[in-house]
Amino acid sequence: MKLPSSIKPDNMKNLVNHFPQLLSTLQIESSILDAAREFHKDGLNGICFLGMGGSSIAGNYARALLSKESKIPISVTRDYLLPTYVDDKWVVIAISYSGNTEETLSSLSMANETGSRIIIMTSGGKMAQESKHPIIQLPEGLQPRAALPLIFSAVLPVVESLAGLKITDFQYLEEVLVNKSNTWNEWLSTPQEIAESFIGKTPIFIGSRHLAPVAYRAKCQINENSKALAFHSELPESNHNEIESFVKTNGCSILPVFLRSGLEPTKINRRFDVTYEMYHEMGLNPINLSASGDTRLEEMLVLTHFLDMVSVDLAELRDVNPVSVEKIHELKHRLNI
């Protein structure tokens, strides 16, 4: 399967603009979903994602989204090791866009030894040679972090099939995201305005429940695309520790960015409001970014698309190349010496 001809792999803004289209680019072979349904019928004790960096985030999104519907646990492992509780009654979904991520290859080898049922998602590399397992072949040519919508469009239907749930319509979601991106300035500031507010500041993205992984994704995108410091945290947990650290004597330039859902339950809504008030009183000038969508999934993807664009606009303001990841390449080079 090929990528749309309008995609320019060396242009991150172009890739972010194609976020909605990438949600509906991949067509999963029916045999893969049939295998997942058979795994469900046979009975399974859990689903474990293996992956690193941009390849692993789709697992976080699926776990957060399906936490209310799935009756089996979903875990995400970013390590050389496979958790000891993952055995032959678990399904392991190993994701590496390149197919050569050493941590994922290591934990995948352990999954092979335990007899776990395995599904692989990759564009090639060593993982594509795992011929004894079902493989979802991802099209080549993307930066791994830009492949999130592509990977997620494969991850979610597979997990839904494994959990015995209705499969999501990604064609519809593409239309939703295109329409929302055309009206960003009506319900949010523009991405460039948010990016400008980050100059001289260190954003900390704060989410809750289904928007917690969106906060993590935003942090990663600012790190990789913008070459800037950023952090993430989660409510209500951060109310029990982090809030004590924001004092003037720390000399920090933290900018809290609250990712707000229109579906917040009363207690979470109250915590966000009070935390925002306190941070404002501390002189931190926090930002509220309210997700726009009729469902949790729409909120997650719409806000992710918006924040991806913020990271690219911030890269332009900082005059850095959002595609380049020289330090990551240098680290890998030193590890292989």
Structure tokens at 237: 């947990």
Strand pairing category for 90-96 and 74-77: unpaired
Annotated catalytic residue within 41, 68, 240, 248 = 240
Number of alpha carbons in the 13 Å side-chain half-sphere of residue 249? 2
Q: Is residue 335 helix, strand or coil?
A: helix
Residue whose C-alpha is closest to residue 51's, from 117, 116, 2, 121: 121
Q: Please name the residues in contact with 214: beta carbons below 8 A apart, sequence gap of 6 or more.
A: 61, 205, 207, 259, 300, 303, 304, 307
332 is catalytic: yes
Annotated catalytic residue within 280, 327, 329, 332 = 332
d(CA 87, CA 95): 18
Angle at 283 between CA 279 and CA 287, to 5 degrees: 55
240 is catalytic: yes
Contact call for residues 95 and 104 (beta carbons, < 8 A): yes
149 Rama class: left (phi>0) / alpha (psi -120 to 50) / beta: alpha
The helix or strand, by DSSP H or E, that contains position 231, with its residue range, turns out to be strand 231-234
Annotated catalytic residue within 103, 174, 224, 234 = 224
d(CA 185, CA 164): 39
* Per-residue b or e along 170-198, where b marks 16 or more CB atoms closer than 10 Å to that residue's CB: beebbebbeebbeebeeebbebeebbebb
321 Rama class: left (phi>0) / alpha (psi -120 to 50) / beta: beta
Q: Is residue 61 helix, strand or coil?
A: helix
Q: Which residues are catalytic, by number?
A: 224, 240, 332
